[in-house]
Amino acid sequence: MKQTPAKSAAVKKAVADKAVAKKAVAKKAVTAKDAEAKKAAVAKAPAAKKAAAKKAAPAGKASAKKAAAKKSPARKPESRVAMVRRARRINRELAELYPYAHPELDFTNPFELLVATVLSAQTTDLRVNQTTPRLFALCPTPEDMAAMDPERLEELIRPTGFFRAKAKSLLGLSTALRDRFGGEVPGRLEDLVTLPGVGRKTANVVLGNAFGVPGITVDTHFGRLVRRFGWTTQEDPEKVEAEIAEIFPKSDWTMLSHRVVFHGRRVCHSRKPACGACPIAPLCPAYGEGETDPEKAKKLLKYELGGQPGQRLKPPADYPGQPAPPMAAP
């Protein structure tokens, strides 16, 4: 049957309306789906943001140090050969800085040096030097000291601290020198260390400075500096001595000890090194542990470098500083 024009138009319109309706339903479904997805994304955002922040933030000091380490590349490990060369260069630089380096205990013979070194434990060389003039005036020889009344000896050395233990050592070593060595201080390490109160450090001081026998003196200053310089990591004095002895020729040992100790007392202090005023700073791996500002560091210098008196009442003739004052009268 043939459709009339009106009917044909109505059919076309119905088909078109149906298509539009279908399209609208589909669009609505898509919009609803998008809205649901958007809602889920919004809900997840805070958790994701929190996770990202947690990942980005350093976890405590350890993470902060790790992050800093990534920023600055690690220092290239130093070979043994390079360390030895650097160590010997430091020794040469210290020799130029302290051409007048010397033992900072006043003495005129091996016995006086031995006694002064025993007294120097746990106190300053200055305090010992202020104490020994009266002591040596009364006890110039081992025989005189061995005969000294213990209480009188304790009273004489009281300013150096630990006076009872030190008096016991002095009486013991003086008696041993009188009875076993004919009143003379022996010039061999194996003999010296048999004396009461005398260890390797004291023996090396006496051998190097009274007998000219090379020795390395590992006191607190020496041990601190050689570890800062990266020459050793040892803490035990005998192990430190052994390792440093392998770096330097034997002929350098005694003066090396004086130079390092001088530097430790004047510049490279225990608590606050004067890094900014240190001539060997470019050679020191510990640079920066102390004050790096040159003007502030200069104020930390001690003894002759700081314009202050030294430790000896009778310093060597080439010492550029002022002598120490004697002990004030009680």
Catalytic sites, residue numbers:
201, 219
Which residues are CB-contacts of 313 (< 8 A; sequence separation ≥ 6)?
106, 129, 130, 133, 323, 324, 325, 326
Q: What one-character DSSP code corresponds to residue 275?
A: G
> Within 10 Å of residue 180's Cβ, how many Cβ atoms?
12
DSSP code per residue over 122-158: TS-HHHHHHHHHHHHHH--SHHHHHTS-HHHHHHHHG
**107 contacts: CB under 8 Å, gap ≥ 6:** 113, 116, 210
Q: What element of type H or E holds 242?
A: helix 237-245
φ, ψ at 304 (rounded to 5°): -65, -30
Instruction: Give every CB contact of residue 324 below 8 A, 6+ residues apart in sequence.
Output: 126, 129, 130, 309, 310, 311, 312, 313
Give the pair of three-digit tokens for residue 90: 């430091």
* CA–CA dist 233, 286 (Å, integer): 13
Are residues 256 and 248 in contact, defined by beta-carbon separation less than 8 angstroms? yes
Please say whether the beta carbons of 296 and 287 come within 8 A. no
Tokens 């210098």, residue located: 301
CB-based contact 138:148 (threshold 8 Å): yes
∠ CA 287-293-298 to the nearest 5 degrees?
Answer: 95
